[in-house]
A and B are shown apart, each in its own frame.
Chain A
């Protein structure tokens, strides 16, 4: 099959292209006008590179011509609401229009764990596909808001037209270009790593495992309509063990300062109380002092990948330790 892959030259996109080719598919890779073409693609006849920016109205029509389906990875993760809405939602809106115009009826969308509710869940809840979506996205962040709207758009379009649509919500995707993430903590002064929610489980998905999940989803031959799956590896580290392994594998000497969840929870709750009492909730505080954001990043939870394994037959082949080793150049093939 021939797949249009948006965000193809991005961190996940390159691995998805590799995984799709390895399964015998061909790829039309959408690159933004000034993005560099990966050198290994230039002589590969299975990859057709097209250039365009999905934020421009009507831009996607030619791109979607003649493909069997779309693997939609492009999204904006940075910038203000205007920029993220444009890069995530408007791009998807234009892509959907292009798919309708070209009669393309298959889509795999890269969703996100950011869409789930965390604050209102019972203690040590199991987060799976049945977990409610964020109740008040505006108090979270722009990414949460725009990914929710994006999912709603895709689900609506797919259900109205009876597309084969799979929404994959990966946890924390990590790999060589992306080992750090906001959940595990932050570097302080170069010699210290503050590990936020140190004992909490980190729902990781090694990028190569994740890429294979996207190809499994593309090949899924289930009923028409929208299916949703979470993508996380089998064995999951704690925030602290992830940082330790990262430090060990990279040979770094930073000292890890654990900031346990009860401390973070108490600080955020106290800040929220002060905000409510003295500022009627209007004060703008750092993310680590906003309960909805802290819970989304660090709350101790349980996670399951049972549904994707059962329905899509996906099996992560590389565990998180091997993933870190490969990402830091010390690993061997899993």
Chain B
């Protein structure tokens, strides 16, 4: 357990029953017999801490973005390979239940051939909280994409995850409008509207800080249907071709969606009572990662996932305001 603040390091160590705590991660790496380092620090610090951890012979699980550019990621990856250590970026939302259901609908052909993917995140980060704090600006404001850099990885890896595997390396025609719709000096950007094409799949990535309610939705449209997974208020809505009379298909789909919405309304309350948050996917991601570490198999987020994600982020950043 390591934090720059002794008070926070001590508090966290006590809370989780960790015997030792440090304020210098290098001292921790020297003093402790560490197998895996979880890097949960601000993005701009990842490069140095991940590199030092790999150099010390540790596997690394790092918060997104793993690095601030694709070139930086490649440097870290090369280091991890030279040390025969695992480097895994947290793509937690890929492991949330609605996304996994969406995965199965794509995999079993319910949606047909994937044609269009939209990933939309709405977060009210301007009206209060840590990102809107003008007294002590959050370090994310200094990132290349400003605060959106904290969230852009989610949009990109969720998009890429639903692009057919053989088309994930052919992302092109990237156009992105990065805007500061709310104005002022604090935020570099608070809005992103991007379109991109991967092979035959059209994509749209949208981040907004001016909508209600907060949302993270992945919509996949295919040749046989459309499905939308919402992660903050977990629900998966499906419109698909159905057997029988095609005239009855809209009615059957509407009834199915009504039942889904009804269940999700109660499900939201149930999730609150059971203390289940949008981070529910993190448990599965970590479980699978540790199983891979124990067995020596491939981790759930591999080189291609991280490489493609950081490449698309680079491309989005290179096309500021050219939509």
Contacts and interface: CB of A to CB of B under 8 A. Distances in A.
Interface in A127-176: 138, 149, 153
- Which range holds the interface residue count of chain A? 20 to 34
A85 B11 contact: yes
B4 A89 contact: no
A57 interface: yes
A56 B7 CA distance: 14
Interface string B267-285: 0000011110000000000
Given A85-B11, A90-B5, A90-B7, A282 B274 contact: yes
A153 B7 contact: yes
A219 interface: no
A90 B8 contact: yes
B130 interface: yes
A285 B275 CA distance: 9
Contact of A285 (B7, B11, B15, B273): B273
Contact of A93 (B7, B129, B134): B7
Interface residues of B, number: 16
B82 interface: no
Could you say which of B5, B130, B136, B273 has the most chain A C-beta atoms within 10 Å of its C-beta?
Answer: B136
B49 to A, nearest CB: 18
Nearest to B12: A85
A32 B135 contact: yes
Contact of A53 (B130, B136, B275): B136
Interface in B1-19: 4-8, 11, 15
Contact of A284 (B8, B15, B275): B275
Interface in A47-61: 53, 55-57
Contacts of A35: 135
A85 B15 CA distance: 14
B7 A283 contact: no
A192 interface: no
Contacts of A235: none
Interface in B99-138: 129-130, 134-136
A138 B5 contact: no
Interface in B235-285: 272-275
Contact of A83 (B8, B129, B272): B129
A284 B11 contact: no
Interface in A25-50: 32-35
B11 A53 contact: no
B130 A82 contact: yes
A125 B134 CA distance: 44
A34 B132 CA distance: 12
A79 B135 CA distance: 15
Given A32-B135, A33-B135, A34-B134, A283 B8 contact: no
Contacts of B6: 93
Given A53-B135, A93-B6, A149 B11 contact: yes
Nearest to B128: A79
B276 to A, nearest CB: 9
Contacts of A93: 5-7
Given A83-B130, A282-B275, A57 B4 contact: yes
A234 B194 CA distance: 64
B274 A79 contact: no
A234 to B, nearest CB: 36
A53 B7 CA distance: 18
Interface string A281-299: 0111100000000000000
A34 B7 contact: no
Contacts of A82: 130
Interface string A265-291: 000000000000001001111000000
Contacts of A279: 273-274
A90 B5 CA distance: 7
Nearest to A79: B129
Contacts of A57: 4
A158 to B, nearest CB: 15
A144 to B, nearest CB: 13
B129 A56 contact: no
A89 B8 CA distance: 8
A82 B136 CA distance: 14
Interface string B7-44: 11001000100000000000000000000000000000
Nearest to A88: B7
B15 A138 contact: yes
Nearest to A279: B274
Interface of A: 32-35, 53, 55-57, 79, 82-83, 85, 89-90, 92-93, 138, 149, 153, 279, 282-285
Interface of B: 4-8, 11, 15, 129-130, 134-136, 272-275
Shortest Cβ-Cβ A-B pairs, 9 listed: A284-B275, A32-B135, A53-B136, A53-B135, A34-B134, A93-B7, A283-B273, A89-B7, A33-B135
Given A90-B7, A93-B6, A285-B273, 20 more contacts: A34-B134, A34-B135, A35-B135, A53-B135, A55-B136, A79-B129, A83-B129, A83-B130, A85-B11, A89-B5, A89-B8, A90-B5, A90-B8, A93-B7, A153-B7, A283-B273, A283-B274, A284-B272, A284-B274, A284-B275
